[in-house]
Structure 1
């Protein structure tokens, strides 16, 4: 499979607002699966009309070959996210971290270690529906790869660009990342907005339950009734994009992440 760097590589939208935003894609996918989400967030503005910078990194082992992904460890994904976080912190006072699926687990793990203004997560991967994935660290020695897991999308006209094979060595690393993210949840104090699809054949409902029950910060869950796992490309993408843009705009204007504009004045 050929990946065009212009479409699937690292994307960056510059801005000068007080908030910078990091948007993270999912496992075996590329930045193309979250790029419209990132563009929507970039349209947020503060009272002076300034927009946030939005960074959308291509995670190590992605956008190349499934064999290359199988050589990476979860620390490489974490370190790549850390690098982009500090670049944004150098330009902006606050950073919001957004993540789809594995990107959500990476966002949680980052928010537990550094100061984050908010989390915006779409079907974060803290529990997988495929229970046999837990044995990938053993199976990888016998079966190098299995069928790809991409394009869990309800909308027939949409397709996600992912690997057609999934390396079990990388699944084993994903499991290690998930364990780390769960373990660090009590250290997450940032407010979180979590989007959850009605049908998800990749990530289990327990993912959202873990965030709601173990995170130290406030959590709002928004249902996506007509979408599958890759909701950023599905029927409910408008809900995700609008609410995410409003959340970032709230923070840039000194409001709470999930506050409805005018709410504070109305209750005064």
Structure 2
């Protein structure tokens, strides 16, 4: 992977035995993960955040990318880092969590654990969320509120023309298919997992919470009361950090 853009953002700590791989969602990018990556540095843990194919550019580049590329890119990254580190954990936001679950089906790419934020096992799309994302990548979303700034930080697609969106159908159809397959895979998933969802998520239904608690009571599930799919309140950011560090500690304790 030398010379590739596989690690758009990375922080490698000498002597670290664990690397945390961050995988973003559809239309997103790695910038959103900087706070957690800085937190990992204080813990002596290496990290890398992917920029998936077709992202970080314009609408035409995104239209030319496919779900299969994103899956293969994620799995290739895990395999690559497993050669350098004894342990690899994936943190995925939205679709990134689904890609992490998908990677578990490949024995060579299976992570030691998954920390999923806004995991879209059950979708519940709201007009507000769609409007903000559309305005973000057309450059008409003014960063007057923290929620708007969160969308702008997360979305990596810009300079989008309306006609280009017509070519995005295959990507979203594939995302719906991935959601369905991961719901079916959930009972058989052989990986430790922590899921953090938001009560005011504009894209993910809270049916995901009941599904997880019914099918996988062994998973840790936390619901943030004051946050959305992209925006995290100050209080909820602290909750995410505590959940994240606790999850890492539990997994690492099993390696000793």
Name the TM-score, length of structure 2 as normaliser.
0.76
| Stretches of 4+ aligned residues off by more than 4 angstroms | 148-151
CA 1:228–1:187 in 2, change beyond 3 Å: closer, same or farther?
same
The alignment status of 1:200 with 2:201, answered yes or no, reads yes
Alignment partner of 2:61 out of 68, 84, 90 = 68
Give 1:255 shift. 7.3
- 2:114–2:194: 8 Å Cα contact kept in structure 1? yes
Question: Aligned with 2:78: secondary structure?
Answer: helix
Q: Which residue of 1 aligns with 2:88?
A: 95
* Structure 2: runs of 5 or more not aligned: 128-132
What RMSD, in angstroms, separates the aligned Cα atoms of the two structures? Answer: 3.0
The alignment status of 1:80 with 2:73, answered yes or no, reads yes
CA distance in 1, matches of 2:147, 2:206: 24
CA 1:158–1:147 in 2, change beyond 3 Å: closer, same or farther?
closer
Give 1:32 shift. 0.9
Per-residue CA deviation, residues 126-176 of structure 1 (Å, 9 max, x unaligned), is 2221399xxxxxxxxxxxxx936889xx84473333236553332122122
Name the TM-score, length of structure 1 as normaliser.
0.73
CA 1:218–1:255 in 2, change beyond 3 Å: closer, same or farther?
farther
CA distance in 2, matches of 1:205, 1:94: 31
Per-residue CA deviation, residues 230-262 of structure 1 (Å, 9 max, x unaligned), is 25x543222212321332234334479xxxxxx
CA 1:74–1:214 in 2, change beyond 3 Å: closer, same or farther?
farther
Q: Which residue of 1 aligns with 2:130?
A: none
Q: Which residue of 2 aligns with 1:219?
A: 219
- 1:125–1:207: 8 Å Cα contact kept in structure 2? yes
Q: Which residue of 2 aligns with 1:190?
A: 191
In terms of mean alpha carbon deviation, does 158-167 or 196-205 score higher?
A: 158-167
Question: Aligned with 1:204: secondary structure?
Answer: coil
Q: Which residue of 2 aligns with 1:17?
A: 16
CA distance in 1, matches of 2:93, 2:175: 14
- 1:117–1:191: 8 Å Cα contact kept in structure 2? yes
CA 1:157–1:73 in 2, change beyond 3 Å: closer, same or farther?
closer
Indicate the structure with greater helix content.
2
